[in-house]
Amino acid sequence: MAGNMKPVLGFDLGGTKMLCGLVENGRTVTARYKKKTKEIDKPEDLVDRMVSCVEGCLKEAGIRAKDVAALGVAAPGPVDLKTGTLLNPPNLGVQELPLAKLLSRKLGVPVVLENDVNAGLYGEFVAGAAQGFSHVVGLFPGTGLGGGMILNGELYYGVSGAAGEIGHMTVQPGGRLCGCGNRGCLEALASRGAMAREAAVLVAAGKSPTIAKLAGTDISKMKSSVFADAIDAGEEAVIELVNNAAWWLGLGMASCVNIFNPEAIVIGGGLVEKLGKSYVKVAEASMREHAMAAIVKKVKVIAAGLADDAAVIGAAAVAAKNLALNAASGSRE
């Protein structure tokens, strides 16, 4: 990336909030603007809302759209990366929306779309926990369990951009039902969503006063902080539940180690942020127990460090890279 390059906008489109950031020197967020991702009546409303979030960020930075090189958008998958189209992301109420084209038309800057997990991992790679490594696998347990790989210093996409569905690796044949329709996926055992379903059973059995107080049996209210509070209160049943999920995560990490021979595994998301070292430790121990000794020996396990900025920085970096590639090949735009 050229040192004198114009700043790039990075945008994280989430199910509940959207965040736009101005990224300078490829790695520093110098202005931010946040908005709620409200219920929308028609797809154009989402585009308009995103444009107004971008404009808020530009205003915050005291610049105009023509002063930025590009906009990178991190959006929940599945996305068609080639055409910049949102396919059918959960919670956004849109389908087959050519987001990059629509945003580019309104803002007058090139727009590149990336899936949010890849963007988050790439952000950690260029500016966060995974700096300095060339082979990194990322696992992000949340409602689901996102995954991504950086191999030879590049995001790995597979033939259609769908690579990295680590959460849907079968680890328990015939096991618990997963959101994807399969049984026994890693996501069905190790995600926060899976933990929440188990916690509801604990609450019903009277085994977690803390979760009962904070969330009742409402799975949608069982945020990462709710589990952290129950652990802080010393609730044995919750500690066991969380350790069990971390153990499963480590099992998935072990397979990634065996397949990709990475230098580092990055784990991130709200759960990792809120549960911290004890959670990472259990996952890492399980990884070391299950992976091949010679391969896992030097693998570092790192907690993601950039929080909300990761996807913003990563999306901006992917956009900047695409722009540079297009310029180098002399292609359109």
Position of tokens 């994280």?
12
Asked if 125 contacts 135 with a C-beta cutoff of 8 angstroms, the reply is no
> Tokens at residue 114, please?
């990336």
Report if residue 178 touches Zn ion, rule: CB under 5 A: yes
Residue of 51, 118, 120, 36 lying closest to 309 (CA atoms): 120
DSSP state of 2: -
**Closest distance to Zn ion from the beta carbon of 180 (Å):** 3
Residue of 258, 25, 235, 274 lying closest to 142 (CA atoms): 274
What's the one-letter identity of residue 322?
Answer: N
C-alpha separations of 258 from 146, 199, 295, 330 in Å:
19, 32, 7, 40
**Closest distance to Zn ion from the beta carbon of 191 (Å):** 10
Question: Which residues 6+ apart lie within 8 Å of 218 measured at CB?
Answer: 200
Question: Which residues 6+ apart lie within 8 Å of 88 measured at CB?
Answer: 78, 94, 95, 96
Residues in 180-209 at the binding interface with Zn ion, rule: CB under 5 A: 180, 182, 185
Nearer to Zn ion, 68 or 185 (CB): 185
Position of tokens 């960020």?
57
**Closest distance to Zn ion from the beta carbon of 178 (Å):** 3
Nearer to Zn ion, 6 or 168 (CB): 168
Q: What's the rounded Cα separation, in Å, for the pair 331 and 75?
A: 25
**Closest distance to Zn ion from the beta carbon of 255 (Å):** 15
**Closest distance to Zn ion from the beta carbon of 181 (Å):** 7
Nearer to Zn ion, 180 or 204 (CB): 180
Stretch that binds Zn ion, among 179-187, 193-201, 211-219, 318-326 (CB under 5 A): 179-187
**Closest distance to Zn ion from the beta carbon of 251 (Å):** 15
Report if residue 301 touches Zn ion, rule: CB under 5 A: no
**Four-residue CA torsion sign, 159, 20, 85, 39:** positive
Nearer to Zn ion, 176 or 290 (CB): 176
Question: Which residues 6+ apart lie within 8 Å of 36 measured at CB?
Answer: 16, 17, 18
Nearer to Zn ion, 13 or 178 (CB): 178
The continuous run of DSSP H or E covering 166 comes out as none
Stretch that binds Zn ion, among 93-101, 130-138, 178-186, 201-209 (CB under 5 A): 178-186
Nearer to Zn ion, 90 or 108 (CB): 90
**Closest distance to Zn ion from the beta carbon of 169 (Å):** 8
Beta strands in 108-215 (DSSP E): 111-115, 136-141, 145-151, 154-155
Q: Tell me, by CB under 5 A, how many residues bind Zn ion.
A: 5
Nearer to Zn ion, 189 or 306 (CB): 189
Report if residue 99 touches Zn ion, rule: CB under 5 A: no
**Closest distance to Zn ion from the beta carbon of 189 (Å):** 10
Stretch that binds Zn ion, among 98-106, 174-182, 222-230, 233-241 (CB under 5 A): 174-182
Report if residue 168 touches Zn ion, rule: CB under 5 A: yes
Chain residues that interact with Zn ion, rule: CB under 5 A:
168, 178, 180, 182, 185
